[in-house]
């Protein structure tokens, strides 16, 4: 049986973390959970330690400062690969990614290297987003798809499953996007590495507790980077030259 690690990055998610961990554990009881906290001042990390102390399948990884979603995931991938996990899942702490849909995504990972939980394929949907936010997200995805020649419809979504094989092929040392652009960067690396990528429809639900870390300036910065990548082909050339395995795995 595949060993599964659900990675949940956090920053000031004290109101959400206990609930989301409980839902993950109920949806995929065999999976382990790794909470990656960027020194949240609201006590999220302390609560993560409490959860870990009462459940051997929950772990807490503490980072010294807030340095971006991408940095947290990259450190978590290294943590998981070094411990022999076969499937590594990205899942937001705020409840926007429904843990109840995990079994469907994990089933798809049995025959694909990367599984994208997609809002923009038939059957996918977004709840409780105002139309400007919906337009911004979908427009950013379309822009990135066209400029980077990516066939996937939802290139910015963060609900994903990577196999260990995929992460070892993607040259994670060359992924240098730490913020909103991280998801696009990772997908671009996966496609350039020749990995099989499938999309499965999900329902994305806007958070009800806490505050979003997204802002127009973050999105603008991401689109600027995508424009540079598209015009220069930098990532395509770099990924094509990457070694087949960049993250060591301990058995």
Whether 229 maps to a domain, the answer reads: yes
pLDDT per residue over 53-64, tens digit each? Answer: 999 999 999 999
> From CA 194, how far away is CA 111, in angstroms rounded?
15
pLDDT > 70: percent of the chain = 87
Confirm whether 105 is domain-assigned: yes
Residue 160, H or E segment: strand 160-163
Q: Is residue 246 part of a domain?
A: no
pTM score > 0.75 for this model? Answer: yes
Is residue 220's pLDDT more than 90?
Answer: no
**Total domains, the chain:** 1
The set of residues, in sequence order, having a beta carbon less than 8 Å from that of 217 and lying 6+ positions away, is none
Give the domain extent around 48. 4-240
Residue 61 maps to a domain? yes
CA angle 67, 219, 160 (to 5 degrees): 70
Q: Does residue 192 lie in a domain region?
A: yes
Structural domain contains residue 248 = no
pLDDT (mean) for 146-164: 93
Domain at 101, CATH number: 3.90.550.10
Contact 186, 105 (CB under 8 A): no
> Looking at the domain assignment, is residue 187 inside a domain?
yes
Q: Supply the DSSP symbol for 106.
A: H
Measured from the Cβ of residue 142, the count of other Cβ atoms closer than 10 Å reads 13
Enter the tokens of residue 39.
């020194």
The residue with tokens 């991408």 is 70
In a domain, 223, yes or no: yes
């Amino acid at each position: 049986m595949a060993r599964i690690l659900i990675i949940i990055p956090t920053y000031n998610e004290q109101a959400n973390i206990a609930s989301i961990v409980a839902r993950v554990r109920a949806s995929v009881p065999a999976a382990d959970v790794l909470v990656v906290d960027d020194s949240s001042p609201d006590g999220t990390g302390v609560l993560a330690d409490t959860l870990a102390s009462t459940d051997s399948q929950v772990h807490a990884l503490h980072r010294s400062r807030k340095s971006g979603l991408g940095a947290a995931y990259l450190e978590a991938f290294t943590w998981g690969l070094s411990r022999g996990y076969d499937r590594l899942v990205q899942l937001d702490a705020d409840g926007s990614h429904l843990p109840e849909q995990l079994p469907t995504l994990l089933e798809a990972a049995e025959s694909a290297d990367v599984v994208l939980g997609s809002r923009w394929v038939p059957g996918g949907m977004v709840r409780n987003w105002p139309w400007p936010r919906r337009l911004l997200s979908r427009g950013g995805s379309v822009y990135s798809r066209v400029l980077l020649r990516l066939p996937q419809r939802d290139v910015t979504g963060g609900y994903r499953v990577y196999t260990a094989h995929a992460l070892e092929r993607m040259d994670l040392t060359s992924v240098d996007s730490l913020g909103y652009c991280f998801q696009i960067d990772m997908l671009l690396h996966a496609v350039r590495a020749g990995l099989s990528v499938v999309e499965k429809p999900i329902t994305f639900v806007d958070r009800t507790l806490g505050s979003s870390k997204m802002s127009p300036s973050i999105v603008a910065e991401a689109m600027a980077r995508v424009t540079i990548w598209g015009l220069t082909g930098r990532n395509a050339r770099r990924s094509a030259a990457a070694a087949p395995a960049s993250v060591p795995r301990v058995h």
